Chain A
Amino acid sequence: MTTVEERLLPSAEPIQLIDQHGVPHDHPQYGLPSEQTLVDGYAQLVKGRRINDQAGALVRQGRLAVYPSSHGQEACQVAATMVLRDQDWLFPTYRDTVSIISRGVDPIETLTLLRGDWHSGYDPYQRNVAPQATPLATQLIHAVGVAHAARLKGEDTVVMALCGDGATSEGDFHEALNFAAVFKAPVVFFIQNNEYAISVPLARQTVAPSLAHKGIGYGVPGERADGNDLAGLLAVLGQAVDKARAGEGPQLIEAHTYRVQAHTNADDATRYRNDAEVAPWLERDPLKRLEAFLVERGLLGESLKKQVVAAADEAAEALRVGLMEEVQPDPAELFDHLYAEKTPQLKEQAAFLQDELAREEA
């Protein structure tokens, strides 16, 4: 018999299967993912990094309104979707561009929000990816609803719900965990703890031993992983998804990572932290360690590496070209999507704007 604590509390240290030098370590509970999975994952990490950095450059060129980068968090981004099946759902935030793209959503459609064209650019049903949520933690409860509906319909669906460390302070985070637990909804709550909520460090969010510990109060098992170790993340998230799918109810996973860049391009991180704090995290980079591991195992030769880099470059170039194109959304659309049927008032206002635009043209 396991005790409640054994069942619900996370392990003493974040699960790590490959350390920052690329050295693998055995773990009694979690096995190393297959070699092919790790090679595929590596390719996705490289692509994710290129997308992050390309998007950052595009902000500087005025092509995106803003970009909250997941630079340094790519292992979390990629693992979150690699463990999902087609029928599963992803509930992302503003920072999860890479995750959405790795789920298979069109990159340009993904960046519609941050480009300033529309509030959400992709069809959520196409790849089962909810619109990115900006109001913190609010989407976590929707994830519970989607998961519960799947259960009611007898579908074999798991929902991956993402949020940051800061978001765990919002009431909605706690309501979502509790609802999920009470309804035994197949949700994996995945916290990317990057140590900061804009300028506010984790110590100002909580004095709990870890964010994964928060599950026990709701009867939700918590686990934590090294957020820069793709292998560990795949093992931990994979097991959580399996448990949720098997009917064991919601799971809470905390990835311990770090926001190596500012909150967004609009933020000035020098006001609240120094380079000395950031430096060790650069050494823990998720790409470096997986690369070292794969090279050491003879799984990543020069030609494969070239292929991976070329594919990432191609993705970044497609992003650049796509976003260089000047798109001007049609103002008439402002009135089109509020109701199934436009109200008489909206029709009047749409006509007003059309008339105004026609006069501007003339």
Chain B
Amino acid sequence: MTATTLVKLTMAQALNQALRDAMKADETVLMFGEDVGALGGVFRITDGLTAEFGEDRCFDTPLAESGIVGMAVGLAMNGMRPVVEMQFDAFGYPAFEQVVSHVAKMRNRTRGRVTLPMVIRMPYAGGIGGVEHHCDSSESYYAHTPGLTVVAPATVADAYTLLRKAIEHPDPVIFMEPKKLYWAKEEVDLSVEQPGIGTAVVRREGRDATLIAYGPTVPIALEAAEVAAADGRQLQVVDLRSIVPFDDETVCAAVRSTGRAVVVAEASGFASVSSEIVARVTERCFHSLAAPIRRVTGFDIPYPPPKLERHQLPGVDRILDAVDDLQWEDS
């Protein structure tokens, strides 16, 4: 037996550790936003950072998201590595102008002279019984905006690695944290290097069909694969991890190996990350496909109130129904 550094952590704790380690490693790393100081963030992701690193390194700002992101732009222009928190997905919208017109465009408009190494952390998606404006899946707005890197971890180990890499990244990263997974616990060894930004991974092998998921839907895809296996169907599960850049190579290799695919995403399906995945995989893998790629997504409606949210969330049954629809020869 070799010595092991396995620790049991929640995703929230892993994110906290990533921030702590990044702030220790590089004193230009700053963390700020709403309630991230004394309170430690409404999800406690920044718990203890002000106490450990001081008010200059982790601090509350006035309550203004546009101000938070705009100030991060200036700080990044002048040698800092800001990490900011949008308290909830939908409260990132007041900062949308800064994100789209400045964060995303600065490198390009200055011909690479001004770069913005900054991270916008965003608790996102639903499944927590939150009232309106607390459960949006807004990744498609950001993924649609050229110049932004968009990342969504689904595991505790990835939460740590991807946040560390996002902070080290030379360009702005929108870091989507699936809030219903904040309390998911795993045994992890944080010293083991996970693949970086831009890399998808196969979470489960399977020869019959490929489930493509990211963020909050990865555990559900894995659950569906488990159920399918009991019925004799082997489903492969791909975790995107990084939406932009998109790992065409891993995703297409996976789909080619099975010839069938279902994309599983919580966001509304219309004009979304999930539609992009279907489009590009179809363009690249058409001749390997035995059936059109199916999608299981949220409906094209505003995120429902708590009592109705279960109808919006992709579940195991919907995934298995979609798999059943993939034109199997034997059915």
Q: Which residues of A line the B interface, CB within 8 A?
A: 65-66, 113-119, 134-136, 138, 166-167, 169-172, 197-200, 204-206, 266-267, 271-272, 328-329, 331, 334-335, 338, 343, 345-346, 349, 353, 356
Nearest neighbor of A173 in chain B, beta-carbon distance: B64
Indicate which residue in B38, B39, B132 contacts A119 across the interface (CB closer than 8 Å).
B132
Indicate which residue in B35, B64, B90, B131 contacts A169 across the interface (CB closer than 8 Å).
B64
Check: B287 CB closer than 8 A to any chain A CB: no
On chain A, the residues within 8 Å of B93 by CB distance are 135
**Known: A135-B94, A198-B39. Is A328-B307 also a contact (CB below 8 A)?**
yes
On chain A, the residues within 8 Å of B318 by CB distance are 356
Nearest neighbor of B311 in chain A, beta-carbon distance: A331
Could you give, for residues 60-83 of chain B, a 1 whenever the CB lies within 8 Å of some chain A CB and a 0 otherwise? 111111110000000000000000
Q: 8 tightest CB-CB pairs across the interface, nearest first? A: A116-B306, A199-B39, A169-B62, A166-B63, A272-B38, A169-B63, A119-B132, A169-B64
On chain A, the residues within 8 Å of B60 by CB distance are 199-200, 204
Check: B299 CB closer than 8 A to any chain A CB: yes
Q: Are A117 and B307 in contact (CB under 8 A)?
A: yes
Check: B308 CB closer than 8 A to any chain A CB: yes
Check: B34 CB closer than 8 A to any chain A CB: yes
**Known: A66-B131, A171-B94. Is A349-B42 also a contact (CB below 8 A)?**
no
How many whole Å from A329's CB to the nearest CB in chain B? 6
On chain B, the residues within 8 Å of A65 by CB distance are 129-131, 306
Nearest neighbor of A166 in chain B, beta-carbon distance: B63
Nearest neighbor of A269 in chain B, beta-carbon distance: B39
On chain A, the residues within 8 Å of B131 by CB distance are 65-66, 113-114, 116, 119, 134
How many whole Å from A92's CB to the nearest CB in chain B? 15
Q: Are A113 and B67 in contact (CB under 8 A)?
A: no
Check: B195 CB closer than 8 A to any chain A CB: no
On chain A, the residues within 8 Å of B300 by CB distance are 343, 345-346, 349
Q: Are A116 and B62 in contact (CB under 8 A)?
A: no
On chain B, the residues within 8 Å of A267 by CB distance are 42
On chain B, the residues within 8 Å of A138 by CB distance are 94
Q: Are A200 and B270 in contact (CB under 8 A)?
A: no
Indicate which residue in B90, B94, B307, B308 contacts A170 across the interface (CB closer than 8 Å).
B94
Q: Are A119 and B42 in contact (CB under 8 A)?
A: no
Q: Are B133 and A334 in contact (CB under 8 A)?
A: no
**Known: A204-B62, A346-B300. Is A272-B39 also a contact (CB below 8 A)?**
yes
Q: Are B38 and A353 in contact (CB under 8 A)?
A: no
> In the complex, A99 Cα to B93 Cα: how many Å?
28
On chain A, the residues within 8 Å of B304 by CB distance are 334
How many whole Å from B264's CB to the nearest CB in chain A? 16
Q: Are B132 and A353 in contact (CB under 8 A)?
A: no
Q: Are A119 and B62 in contact (CB under 8 A)?
A: no
**Known: A113-B132, A117-B305, A331-B308. Is A271-B62 also a contact (CB below 8 A)?**
no
> In the complex, A71 Cα to B67 Cα: how many Å?
31
Q: Are A136 and B305 in contact (CB under 8 A)?
A: no
Check: B302 CB closer than 8 A to any chain A CB: yes
Q: Are B64 and A199 in contact (CB under 8 A)?
A: no
> In the complex, A353 Cα to B131 Cα: how many Å?
22
On chain A, the residues within 8 Å of B302 by CB distance are 119, 338
* 24 A-B pairs whose Cβ atoms sit less than 8 Å apart in the complex: A65-B130, A113-B132, A114-B131, A116-B305, A116-B306, A116-B307, A117-B307, A136-B91, A169-B63, A169-B67, A170-B94, A171-B64, A171-B94, A198-B34, A199-B39, A204-B61, A206-B62, A266-B42, A271-B38, A272-B39, A331-B308, A334-B308, A356-B317, A356-B318
> In the complex, A127 Cα to B241 Cα: how many Å?
49
> In the complex, A118 Cα to B304 Cα: how many Å?
8
> In the complex, A349 Cα to B35 Cα: how many Å?
39
On chain B, the residues within 8 Å of A204 by CB distance are 60-62
On chain A, the residues within 8 Å of B65 by CB distance are 170
How many whole Å from A165's CB to the nearest CB in chain B? 9
Q: Which of B63, B64, B311 has the most CB of A within 10 A?
A: B63
Could you give, for residues 300-323 of chain B, a 1 whenever the CB lies within 8 Å of some chain A CB and a 0 otherwise? 111011111001100001100000
Q: Known pairs A171-B66, A353-B311. 17 more at Cβ < 8 A?
A: A65-B130, A113-B305, A114-B131, A116-B305, A117-B307, A136-B91, A138-B94, A198-B42, A199-B35, A206-B62, A272-B39, A329-B305, A329-B308, A334-B299, A334-B311, A334-B312, A343-B300
Interface residues of B in 38-67 (CB under 8 A from A): 38-40, 42, 60-67
Nearest neighbor of B297 in chain A, beta-carbon distance: A349
Indicate which residue in A113, A200, A335, A356 contacts B34 across the interface (CB closer than 8 Å).
A200
Q: Which of B39, B40, B305, B306 has the most CB of A within 10 A?
A: B305
How many whole Å from B100's CB to the nearest CB in chain A? 16
On chain B, the residues within 8 Å of A113 by CB distance are 131-132, 305
Check: B37 CB closer than 8 A to any chain A CB: yes
> In the complex, A15 Cα to B317 Cα: how many Å?
62
Nearest neighbor of A360 in chain B, beta-carbon distance: B317
Nearest neighbor of A204 in chain B, beta-carbon distance: B60
Nearest neighbor of B65 in chain A, beta-carbon distance: A170
How many whole Å from A70's CB to the nearest CB in chain B? 17
Indicate which residue in A135, A205, A266, A346 contacts B301 across the interface (CB closer than 8 Å).
A346
> In the complex, A241 Cα to B130 Cα: how many Å?
36
> In the complex, A139 Cα to B300 Cα: how many Å?
25
Q: Are A205 and B62 in contact (CB under 8 A)?
A: yes
How many whole Å from A333's CB to the nearest CB in chain B? 8
**Known: A65-B131, A116-B129, A171-B66. Is A271-B299 also a contact (CB below 8 A)?**
no
Q: Are B133 and A135 in contact (CB under 8 A)?
A: yes
How many whole Å from A135's CB to the nearest CB in chain B? 6
> In the complex, A349 Cα to B64 Cα: how many Å?
37
On chain B, the residues within 8 Å of A198 by CB distance are 34-35, 39, 42
> In the complex, A200 Cα to B38 Cα: how many Å?
8
On chain B, the residues within 8 Å of A345 by CB distance are 270, 300
How many whole Å from A257's CB to the nearest CB in chain B? 18
> In the complex, A199 Cα to B63 Cα: how many Å?
11
Q: Are A199 and B129 in contact (CB under 8 A)?
A: no
Q: Are A205 and B307 in contact (CB under 8 A)?
A: no
How many whole Å from B310's CB to the nearest CB in chain A? 9
